[in-house]
Amino acid sequence: EIVLTQSPATLSLSPGERATLSCRASQSVSSYLAWYQQKPGQAPRLLIYDASNRATGIPARFSGSGSGTDFTLTISSLEPEDFAFYYCQQRSTWPPLFGPGTKVDIK
């Protein structure tokens, strides 16, 4: 079974800074990777699918890249509402699997 690893576990940044989050798969998932944002007490929200495609309504400051085993979610300039948890998810093999998450908090 594929294992997803996310790093760092916590990323402490200030508004306006660039955030770079990593998701690594234990074996290739091709480009079949998504990113979700979750705020406390809320449901997750799909940000990026198939590694680099923004979901409907997602601001352009969110971008995804990578293929195979190494993926990156970049937030070009953090807005106050971006401080949250971020999860990656693969759909390359069954079952769909989420990574453990990265918390982006305010420095």
Interacting residues toward another protein by CB under 8 A: 32, 34, 36, 38, 42-46, 49-50, 55-56, 87, 89, 91, 94-101
From the CB of 14, what's the least distance to another protein, in Å?
26
Question: Judged by CB, which is closer to another protein: 35, or 83?
Answer: 35
Per DSSP bridges, beta strands 10-13 and 102-106 are: parallel
From the CB of 46, what's the least distance to another protein, in Å?
5
Question: Judged by CB, which is closer to another protein: 14, or 56?
Answer: 56
Question: Judged by CB, which is closer to another protein: 40, or 80?
Answer: 40
Distance CA 102, CA 79 (A): 17
